[in-house]
Chain A
């Protein structure tokens, strides 16, 4: 089981985790993009039935990742909340319980486009919010990827997915990490988030994950 892939990028060592996060061991830091908390609640409030347990599960996954990697910091790369209507009491309770459990953790958020509409997280969650982009621990953190950046950066927003085609009609579509010299785009962390297929260019790297295992996919010209 390949649950993680270690990479060296810009002279730093990172682990791409199958559970759709990046671990930076030397700084005991986790990068998480696009959790979209409260998305299911937003749907339900609009009359679209979506089971609730996604938020609880996502918090459990976060806790497990923090514990497994002994991380002291989490940096959310935007879209912490999905929408203002989804910030229900129930979601608040789940997140607050999660935070209490990991009280010593440093938590940062680079505001994403959804956060601008939803507003910052509740104060009791103790999350430091930053405008996009921000430099934390010497790494350029963004929500929205940009085509020209002086500094190499990590970003979210895209929800990158990739369809791997086998012979004939066989195909697998999964979330992926999308890397090149100047950027790493993380897959969306939230369980109830979609994918957007990307077209990697020669020289770029794609790491496909189904949440449990992760593989690098060779890019053919």
Chain B
């Protein structure tokens, strides 16, 4: 071992890199040297560290070192592709290219580095396929697309390393699973291929590494420079009201936020949803009109070009502040950012760390995040997040479990890319972690699906997507090949309306349901501008700048982040410590009045207690339950309890939920004692009953859109698409109905239901939570008035109405509500 270290230090490549580092006034960090050595030994691995700590050079230097060692300072560029660099965001492709080029130029190596993503032109892509660069920066989708060309195997014959950047971001998504499948193929071509991942800190790093490396490979887990310091500060409102409700507090803090921005050169202001960025951007200009042109807005629905302008201004530091969403969570090195402001609850420890890490980008610098509550309970979240960060308790991100829609897509890709044979491909697929437990039945079904369309042979006559010829699965039709290549990927874009000025400049996209409510000539905010709607034509909203006045802020679909289990647990611990009089944080001090009032009017539950409140309001009887399990789990739980209650006695219940609890409102006078509550909250039968609720609420139908898109049933249309594409476009909901009626055993339907159970209703978390609740002491209270805990749930108002009625009853009831002007 010692001897190896010595050789590593003395080899010519390492000497060159060290000299370059010296010339820049840098010194390699121990973790970087460790990576260089492990790579030199032919190993794969995962490096985890906060952003901005030198992870890029840790993995980028070793392939260069190795090449220099093979023939010191060769003048000729390598003939074939040597390194693939995968990044989750298209927007990061160019940035990564830039930083990789920096080292190659510094070492004066004849390597070429190019990018390939959805933004790359068709001609550029074609010429790349003829002659690949030495290193290619790309996205999971573009890599998958490359595998659909038979020549790729030859072009990749000298590929020695794949580096996957921001692996934590891909890990528990279908894009991550797609990366796994692509890697399985590359490893089959070259078993010595080295895979290195870069990740932020996660609670399940070992699993994250296993997922990246495939289930048969061992790797090295390297901890990066973790000396980075994080400071969490909170803006405490001067007058705390004791009844918190969502979104209402933030407005009072605009002036304080503006003052914080004034103190620094450049700030990033993060919000949790797009509509909040529009609100805050406008609010900041409201208190500082002179900032017009000096602050920017950035979120996923704003036009790509506009976003790039903002990103470039951030890079050069010529912007005072940018109000943004998770669109700026990732990657891009914005060194000039001095301060991060988080509006609203962080909802997760990892997310707050990630965002805080966007400032103080220099290794060793301190990252400060200023938190701005939009409702009082978030104060506890900040205190809790700070504690968890200090203890290093970060959320886990789990890989997916064998999504068959993606397998179907990948198998067609393989069939296109030179064809595949069954036996060897099953073992290849099973080397991908997410598919390690793939059953024979699932495999058979998926193959049946791509060959015959489905199980019922007769039902899918004329369907020839993939055919078997001499035991090789291949795609015979060029039309199908073209369709497939166009639809590779897993990102499902929402059908959206383009917002465009009369002269033609596009501003971004907006939800159809929002724009439908805006009348011609009235105002709304978008991209930080007050706009007047001129007309809607096709899928475009034509607008012009409004001179002045008030406008509505758009709401985009898409869920809110739920509170993570880890942070929820940490919040409960903060409350526990408060009960014991052991909290001294400013946030908890500010919450004193609220929490004490909760205790006086009802009860402040200890860790071992489960609180249920019953309060009678004008709406009827309200029950409030406080499991502290995050809004998704609460949504599932609320449907479950409502379903179980309506089985005890026919009744109509309105439910609402937030991150801390849920409420059920009914006109029934029924008394519910502890025994009944315990029965209602039993973990047994949870999955079956949730499935029943799901069928009533059409949740699976909505989820089917994504499944259908990935499995290649839906082509994502684009304006001006050819007729041949337009005539085979149908919605996910339509496919769902047709399959449910004619092919109910279709595994894609099963998968959609599974995804709703696992991802939306968090069935696993819910089961654990119910078990835990069964062991808790039930505290039933009947406060005469709403309490600080129940008030926000009540104010969230009556969200879902769950009832066991038929379609006609539901329609009749809703129609009656409309008549009544409700």
Contact = CB atoms under 8 A, between A and B. Distances in A.
Given A51-B738, A168-B797, A193-B734, A43 B814 contact: no
B180 to A, nearest CB: 25
B189 interface: no
Interface string B675-717: 0000000000000000000000000000000000000110000
A164 B814 contact: yes
Interface string A127-169: 0000000000000000000000000000000000000111111
Given A2-B808, A42-B727, A193-B734, A168 B743 contact: no
Given A46-B728, A47-B477, A51-B456, A215 B713 contact: no
A52 interface: yes
B464 interface: yes
Contacts of A41: 462
B730 A192 contact: yes
Contacts of A83: 727
A46 B715 CA distance: 11
Interface in B495-537: 512, 516
Given A49-B460, A170-B801, A192-B734, A208 B818 contact: no
Interface in B447-470: 449, 452-454, 456, 458-465
B813 interface: yes
Given A47-B480, A52-B461, A42 B728 contact: yes
Contact of A168 (B654, B733, B807): B654
B644 interface: no
A205 to B, nearest CB: 13
Interface string B81-107: 000000000000000000000000000
B819 to A, nearest CB: 5
Contacts of B777: none
A169 B800 contact: yes
B656 A168 contact: yes
A73 interface: no
Nearest to A165: B814
Contacts, number: 134
A217 B818 CA distance: 9
B730 A194 contact: yes
Contacts of A100: none
Q: Which of A165, A170, A192, A216 has the most CB of B within 10 A?
A: A170
Contacts of B723: 117
B742 A51 contact: yes
Contact of A51 (B479, B654, B730, B739): B739
A50 B735 CA distance: 8
B10 interface: no
A84 B460 CA distance: 19
A6 B812 CA distance: 18
B808 to A, nearest CB: 5
Nearest to A90: B461
A215 B811 contact: yes
B810 A172 contact: yes
A164 B811 contact: yes
A210 B741 CA distance: 14
A28 interface: no
B473 to A, nearest CB: 14
A172 B456 CA distance: 31
Contacts of B656: 168
B462 A45 contact: yes
B33 to A, nearest CB: 52
Contacts of B191: none
B712 A44 contact: no
A152 B738 CA distance: 35
Interface in B791-811: 797-802, 807-808, 810-811
A181 B812 CA distance: 25
B123 interface: no
A173 B733 CA distance: 10
Contacts of A49: 449, 452-454, 460, 463, 465, 713
A114 B726 CA distance: 11
B287 interface: no
B808 A194 contact: no
Given A49-B454, A117-B723, 9 more contacts: A47-B712, A51-B454, A51-B743, A54-B742, A90-B461, A166-B810, A170-B800, A172-B811, A208-B811
21 contacts: A43-B730, A44-B460, A44-B461, A44-B463, A46-B480, A47-B463, A47-B464, A47-B712, A49-B460, A52-B460, A52-B742, A114-B727, A164-B815, A168-B654, A168-B800, A168-B801, A191-B738, A194-B731, A197-B512, A215-B815, A217-B818
Pairs of residues from A and B, 5 with the lowest C-beta to C-beta distance, nearest first: A49-B453, A168-B799, A51-B742, A47-B465, A47-B480
